[in-house]
Every structure is written in structure tokens, then in C-alpha cells.
């Protein structure tokens, strides 16, 4: 498991995780979750071939795996820098870099992906952070795969979920799946900070 942008205090508050844990358990339990989230790795490598991270790549061309190892992850992410970019960045089809539509992180092109992989002796980037209709999408000339494993995200997107399974050569297979019925709790029932959109 890697840490994503939702494993932060702000996102837990907005999207309802904090409210649900406090309602069902306690403040102490939520604080324990926060501590665990701070321990999750920002990225990891599979067989020295595939890097897995939540968001994407970086605003600098010279980032190495060693640079990522040196990031202090045991905290809330700052507004900029390697940690923030690993959690928030997204790929774009055009070469180069552009400001992110999210207001944090950046958008990076296939050339940025190719350069990062070559510099670090890797084959592929696997990331999530974006809903995909089929549960996954291959980009950057096959060097980047976005995988999203929450089907019918927020009970309204209608997307499939997917997981990737890798072999020892770094080759992968995709398993897709549909949403299944779940308990009758309305979407975002415990969310806060959405301007009353969800009845709070």
C-alpha cells in the first residue's frame, strides 16, 4: 500500500473518513489512523522495474529513487515539493509540464515519464489518483498505467474497478470488476466542508 492524497487530515475531513471513524469509534481511533497514514510509503518498486506511487512525477528532471527515500513522510504533506507531487500529480498527453487542474502537484507529459524511468533504470510507472471508466488506462507509450480500484466511485461515476497483477519479469495482467451492493448509507454521509451539499 502507498500513501495517497486522501491519507491526509484535510482530505479525511472533507470526504468523511474522519467523521465516520469518530462516529463509529472515537477520536483516539482516528488519531491512530492518522499515525498509520504517516507511516505509509510514498512509493515503492516492484522487482527494480516498476515504481508504484499514488499521484505522479515531479517538477524536476533530476529526481532519483534515492531522493524519494530521503523524503520525511512521517507528517502531513507540504504544499509543494517531492512529497506533494508524489501524492497529487497527474499525467498529460502533451510533452513537458503544466500546472495541475487540482491546484497542487503538476501535470507531466510522456517525455517526463520516459526521462524519469531512464534515469532510474525502471520500466514503468503505476499510479492511481484518477477515476478511469475501465478501471485502468495505459498512457505514455505504455510506460505509465493508471489503475483505479474503486468501482462506481462515490456511487455515481459508473466506472469499473481494476487491479494489476505483476509477474517476476515486470509484466502485468489486468483484472476488472463491477461494483457490488453495499450497506444503505448515502454517499459522503460523513463528509464535512462541502458547503452543506450533503445535508450537514
- Average pLDDT on 71-96 reads 97
Checking if the pLDDT of 114 tops 50, the result is yes
Task: Please say if 6 is a catalytic residue.
Answer: yes
Question: What's the domain count of the chain?
Answer: 2
What band does 195 get if pLDDT is binned at 50, 70 and 90? very low
Please indicate, yes or no, if residue 196 is contained in any of the structural domains. Answer: no
Contact present, 158 and 179 (Cβ < 8 Å): no
- Nearest to 77, CA basis, from 6, 149, 129, 19: 6
Catalytic residue among 6, 38, 129, 182: 6
Predicted confidence (pLDDT) per residue in 119-165, tens digit? 999 999 999 999 999 999 999 999 999 999 999 998 889 999 999 99
C-alpha grid cell, residue 137: 488506462
Please indicate, yes or no, if residue 111 is contained in any of the structural domains. Answer: yes
Q: What DSSP string runs through 61-118?
A: TT--HHHHHTS--SS---SSSHHHHHHH-EE-SSSSEEE-TTSSSEEE-HHHHHHHHH
Residues 106 and 46 in one domain: yes
Residues 33 and 46 in one domain: no
What band does 182 get if pLDDT is binned at 50, 70 and 90? confident
C-alpha grid cell, residue 185: 448509507
Checking if the pLDDT of 196 tops 50, the result is no
Q: Is the pTM of this model over 0.75?
A: yes
Residues 31 and 126 in one domain: no
Q: Which domain holds residue 13?
A: 1-40
Residues 70 and 143 in one domain: yes
What band does 194 get if pLDDT is binned at 50, 70 and 90? low
| Residue 145 parent element (H or E) | strand 144-147
d(CA 33, CA 196): 26
Amino acid at each position: 500500500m502507498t500513501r495517497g492524497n486522501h491519507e491526509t487530515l484535510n482530505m479525511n475531513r472533507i470526504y468523511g473518513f474522519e467523521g465516520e471513524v469518530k462516529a463509529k469509534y472515537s477520536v483516539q481511533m482516528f488519531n491512530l489512523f492518522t499515525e498509520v497514514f504517516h507511516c505509509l510509503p510514498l512509493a515503492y518498486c516492484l522487482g527494480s522495474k516498476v515504481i508504484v506511487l499514488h499521484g505522479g512525477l515531479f517538477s524536476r528532471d533530476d529526481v532519483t529513487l534515492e531522493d524519494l527515500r530521503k523524503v520525511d513522510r512521517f507528517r502531513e504533506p507540504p504544499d509543494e515539493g517531492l512529497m506533494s507531487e508524489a501524492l497529487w500529480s497527474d499525467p498529460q498527453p502533451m510533452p513537458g509540464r503544466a500546472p495541475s487542474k487540482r491546484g497542487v502537484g503538476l501535470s507531466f507529459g510522456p517525455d517526463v515519464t520516459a526521462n524519469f524511468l531512464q534515469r532510474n533504470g525502471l520500466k514503468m510507472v503505476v499510479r492511481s489518483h484518477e477515476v478511469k471508466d475501465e478501471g485502468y488506462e495505459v498512457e505514455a507509450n505504455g510506460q505509465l498505467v493508471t489503475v483505479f480500484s474503486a468501482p462506481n466511485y462515490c456511487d455515481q461515476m459508473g466506472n469499473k474497478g481494476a487491479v494489476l497483477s505483476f509477474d517476476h519479469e515486470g509484466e502485468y495482467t489486468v483484472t476488472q470488476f463491477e461494483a457490488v451492493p453495499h450497506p444503505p448509507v448515502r454517499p459522503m454521509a460523513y463528509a464535512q466542508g462541502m458547503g452543506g451539499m450533503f445535508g450537514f
